Each structure stands twice: as structure tokens, then as C-alpha cells.
Chains A and B, each alone.
Chain A
Amino acid sequence: MELLNYVYPNDIHAHWSLMIVIYPYITGVVAGAFIVSALAHVFHVKALQPVAKFALIFALSWALFVTAPLLNHLGHPERALNMLFTPNFVGPSMMSGFGYIYMSYSILLIFEILVIYRYELTVMKQSMSGAKRLLYDLLTLGTNDATQESRKRDHKVAFVLAAIGIPLACTLHGYVGFIFGAVKSVDWWFTPLMPIIFLLSASVSGIAGMILFYIGIKKITGKIHEIPTETIKTMVQLLWAFFIFDFLFEMIEIAVHAYGGTEGWHVIKAALSGPLYFSFWTMQVKILSVIPFIALMILSLKNVSRNTLLLVAPIVSFMLLAQVLFMRWNVVIGGQVMAKSERGFAVFHPQFWEKEGIAVTIVMLVAPIVTLWVLSKIFPLWESKIDKEF
């Protein structure tokens, strides 16, 4: 089919902007990081214990910014709570449950953190006074109980919370995939694989983010020798495992579309060889999937030296973080570029300085990192002596 570029007049410009690209991105990092902490807390993966606490704080620092791009995108952000007060459960609208799921997850995450840290903060606050003491009193909910029994109780509660958290974190992100996967008017989105791909890519971005920041922070603070090789190795293997399935499903989706060869595929094919060629084939698939895939395979299966591991793992992680960002772009913007007229492409040209532009996007992606730094001043990120005693 030859596309002679006719687009319905209301659809000439993509309406969902960069904000909707980074919203699933941020949500994905949150869900992925939580899975690492759950593996440590629920499944007792020993090698992941050193990053178990870091995973939670990392998840929280991103979770706090999930709604920022959404609120910036809404035409009436002051009415955002309508989503909680008058949710459309009759439709049902796939978006209307998001407020509830995100809220439940955030509350659970905060309680999980407070419970996990309670004993340590209680011990820490003994030597504090003034405002700092007040803050720690607040975070420990006023308790001074530092007995071993209370610690055991904390661990039980944390175990239960983390166990509930796993399906909730999966729901949170699988659900974001559903928001796109349920739109039948856009062939590029309308696939049952969409929630699965979103979930897997979320795990990839979360684990990759943790590897990058774990090694990065340790390097900057000059404590890289503290990183156990086993921990990084396990995280790299975990990343590879998730990425195998992520990449597999991304390619299966295209393959099934292509083999089916429906009318929708003709539009998708034209877009993938036209406006999306660079961002999909060149970036998402060739550079940012194939290269990390091979690198992760070698790191996971071969006995590479510690230095190689610590050098290559963050680079690969960075590439995969970029891969997931490109994937979000290709889904969100790509789906809108493939115009509903089936005869052409819509356009999307983000400006640097505009309400939903590039500058704001960068700020929203940097804000969680700054938040992580602030939170690290309050919550000790790494496994302490106290943790090891228990």
C-alpha cells in the first residue's frame, strides 16, 4: 500500500507527548527495582542482600515522580482526583484504576521501607537530638524498642509486605502496558503481549538502573572495593534473564504482526521503514538490544575478571536503560505517528522549552536521582553491620 500522507485533520500532531513517554519509563524503574528487593527479602537470594535496602530506596525515589509527568500533561490537573472520586468502572476505563493501584503500591512501599529500617533507625537515633531526632522519631513512629524480639517481628511484617508487593508491583506495570494494549484503534498498541512486554522491560530498566547506580555511587564515593563480585554477577545474570524474555517478546510481537499481514501491519510496516526506522531498528533493536544482549551473555556465562565486570556492567546497564526509553518512545509516539486515516503519518517534534518539552523531561528524569541523594542522607543505603548480625 502506498501512503500518500493524508491524516485526519485533528490527528496531524501527536497529542501524547514526552510526558507520556517517561511516565511508563519511571513506573517501570519503580517496579523493576522492587523485584530485586523482593528477591532478597522474600526469596532470600543471598547474593542480593547487599542491595536489598538500596533497591527499596531506589524504588521510592522514582515512585515519588510517577505522577509528575501525568499532572503536567493533564489539561486540568486540578481535577486529577476525579480519577479517584468518580472512576469509570463501568467502561471500564483501564486508566481509572491506575490511581488506586499506584496509591496502594506507594503506601505499601513506604511501609515496607519504614519496617525494614525501623531497627536501624531506632539504634541510630539514640545519639541524635533536635530536629534530626524528631525526623527519626517520626520515621520510627516514635518507638524506641531495640530488642531482638521486635526485630524478628519487623522481619515477619516486612516479609508479608514484600510478598504482597510483588504482585502489586507487577500489576502496577503490567497495567500501564494494558493502558496501551487495550486501545483497538491503534494497531501498533492493540496486542495482548503489550502488558507482558511492559512488565519485562520494566524489570530490565529497574535492574539496569540499580546496577548503574550501585556501581556509580560506590565509584564516586571511592568505595568500589566494597562491592561483592557475587552481587554484581547475580544482578547481571538477572538482568540478562529478564532481557532475554523482554527482547524475545518484542520481536515476537513484530513477527506475528508481519506474518499475519493484516491491514494494520501495512501501516506498521510503512512506519517501521519510514519515520520509526531509526528509533526502532537502528536504536532500540540493533544498537541497544543486540550489543547488550551479547555483552550480558558473556558476562553471565564466562568467568570474566572482577575489573571487567565492574567496567562493562554499568555500560551495558546504561545502554539497556536507553533501550527501554527508546522502546517507550517507539510505543507511545510510534502509535500516534501511525495515523488512524491509514494513509499517512502524524508528526511529533518536541521543543526544548515548552510545557511538555525536552527541558521538563530532563528535569523529571533527574529529579528522582536528586531525591535518591536526599534520601541517602536519611536512610543508610547499604547493608550495615547491624543487618549482618541478624
Chain B
Amino acid sequence: MEIDQGFIDKDRRGFIEKVLRGSLKGSLLLLIPMHSDLFAQVLNEEKDKIISLIDPKDTRKNYAFMVDVGACIGCGSCCVADRKENHVPEGSYRTWVERYVIDIYNTVYVDAPNGGEDGYTHMREDIKEPIKNAFYVPKLCNMCQEPSCVQVCPVAATFKTPDGFVLVDSTHCVACGYCVQACPYGVRFINNETHTADKCTWCYHRVSKGKLPACVNACPTGARKFGDLNDPNSEVAKIYNSKKILKVLKKQLGNEPVLYYLGANEEVI
């Protein structure tokens, strides 16, 4: 199409005026809340199509993460896999593995050098008394049903998806750090590359494609389990529905985590 350059040049003022008026009127439409018959009509016509697109099973997913404390060997593969999968900067941890050592006088020694990422290849040498128990406890986001971090975020950059994942919109986060303070489990940090809040997502990007979280995939002993509690054939549902005793962390805070620990001692916080 040929543009009449002459016309635009001649009547530049009029042209700009028209553009401004148009955009003003257009923006008014955004301000006035309208009951849209058209939108309702479109919705109605497309209703069947939209419903057919949604997999009815999807809406009934009830994801859970389980950690079998007895099965963890503290190799750190999960942490390595997570750092690689999610490009977590050094010095910050989306997941880590703690080593618990309890002596015969019930003194509890906990450590997690470099988040346990290098594997626990050496014994602790600073414990003088005989040891009665020792185990590893992997930690990650608890995906609370009542997440403190979502509650406190001043700009609503962190949110809960309909299928229960607590995520951060890094393009909206102001990095005030309130969520870092509010998380009872210490799983949040300010990513020093993006300068926004960051945390474990249970590999939402993988799960939404039907894959397992990277750490679950990497675990050689099956200590990390992930699945749908509504699927009776899933491993997590079988454990959940069995007589085995499951524990969530800091239950008294009322955050209702869906990260369950199987065989975790009283000492695990």
C-alpha cells in the first residue's frame, strides 16, 4: 500500500491529535468496568471446546514429595543434578542434604558442608562420645498448602499454581527478601545473578511435561519420591495409604507442607 507521505507531513498536528485522542479513548475502555455480553457469548459458544481440552484427570492431581530418610546414603547426586538442571548459583541451595549424628548422650550433631553436594565421604572427627545413630536428611521446598512466602510477598510475585506448586515470577519480584524471612524452612534465597527470590520448584518445568523432578531422577537409592497421591498405583500413594508413619517439618506452624518424611527421627527439624 502506498502511503500518502505528503498528507502526513502536511497535517502532522492533526495526525498526532487523532492518535492521541484514539489512545485516550481506548485507555478509557480499560478503566471502565464493563459487563461484556460479547465475552459471555464467546465463552458460551466455546465452552464445550474448552472443556474438551482439559484432561479431567489433570484437575484431580494431588502431587506429593516423599523423602525416605532410611534410604538416603548422602551421596549428593540430587544436589548436583539440581544445580545443573536449575542453574543454581554457587553458595545458594535449592536443595541440600543434612547429616545427623546422635551420640549416646542424645547430643545431636548436624552439618551440611556445601549443602552435602560433595557427598559425605568422611566421618565427623569432632565427636568424642560413642555414636548411637546417624542418618542423612535431604531438604527442599515443602510446597506448603498455606505458604508463608506467598502470603507475605508484597507484589504478588510468588504464587501457588492450581496444582499446588509455589513458584516465583522472577520478572516481577522486587527482591525485598520478605519471603526469605517468612519461609520457616530456609529454602528461599536471593539469587545473586537474577537479583530475585529463588527456590526449589520441584522442577515444575519437568513435571508439567510428565517428567520427574531432576533430583528424584538422579537419586540412586529411591530416597526421593515424587508422585500423585490420587493415583493409587503411584509409590507415594501406596506409602501414604499404608501404616508407615510420615512426618512433616515444623507442623506446629500450620503451613501444611506436602513434603513428607518417611522414617525421620524426632530430632529432624
Q: Which residues of A contact B (CB under 8 A)?
A: 2, 4, 6, 8-11, 15-16, 70, 73-77, 79-80, 82-83, 86-88, 90-96, 98, 179, 182-186, 335-336, 339-343
Contact = CB atoms under 8 A, between A and B. Distances in A.
B183 interface: yes
Interface in B170-205: 172-178, 180-190, 195-196
B115 interface: yes
A76 B173 contact: yes
Residue of B96, B114, B183 contacting most chain A CB atoms (<10 Å)? B183
A93 B154 contact: yes
B172 A6 contact: no
A6 B155 contact: no
Instruction: Name the prevailing secondary structure of the A interface residues.
Output: loop
Interface stretch (B54-62, B104-112, B220-228): B104-112
Interface residues of B, number: 45
B187 A183 contact: no
B174 A82 contact: yes
B236 interface: no
Nearest to B181: A183
Given A9-B96, A79-B172, A340-B186, A4 B109 contact: yes
A80 B176 CA distance: 9
B181 A336 contact: yes
B152 interface: yes
B258 interface: no
Given A75-B190, A75-B195, A343 B269 contact: yes
B176 A6 contact: no
Contact of A15 (B109, B177, B254): B177
A2 B155 contact: no
Contacts of A6: 98, 109-112
A76 B175 contact: yes
A261 to B, nearest CB: 15
A10 B196 contact: no
B108 A4 contact: yes
B63 interface: no
A92 B155 CA distance: 10
B81 to A, nearest CB: 17
A76 B148 contact: no
Contact of B154 (A87, A184, A186): A87
B176 A73 contact: yes
Contacts of A16: 177, 181
Contact of B185 (A2, A87, A335, A340): A340
B151 interface: yes
Given A8-B139, A9-B115, A93-B152, A341 B269 contact: yes
Contact of B152 (A74, A76, A95): A95
B207 to A, nearest CB: 23
B253 to A, nearest CB: 6
A6 B195 CA distance: 26
24 contacts: A2-B107, A10-B92, A11-B186, A73-B177, A74-B174, A75-B175, A75-B195, A76-B195, A76-B196, A79-B155, A83-B155, A86-B155, A87-B156, A88-B155, A91-B151, A93-B151, A93-B156, A94-B152, A95-B178, A96-B154, A179-B178, A183-B182, A185-B148, A341-B186
Interface string B145-168: 000101111111100000000000
B235 to A, nearest CB: 28
B189 A76 contact: no
Given A8-B96, A75-B190, A76-B196, 18 more contacts: A6-B112, A9-B93, A15-B190, A16-B181, A76-B173, A76-B174, A79-B173, A82-B157, A82-B172, A86-B155, A87-B155, A93-B151, A93-B152, A95-B154, A184-B253, A185-B181, A185-B182, A185-B253
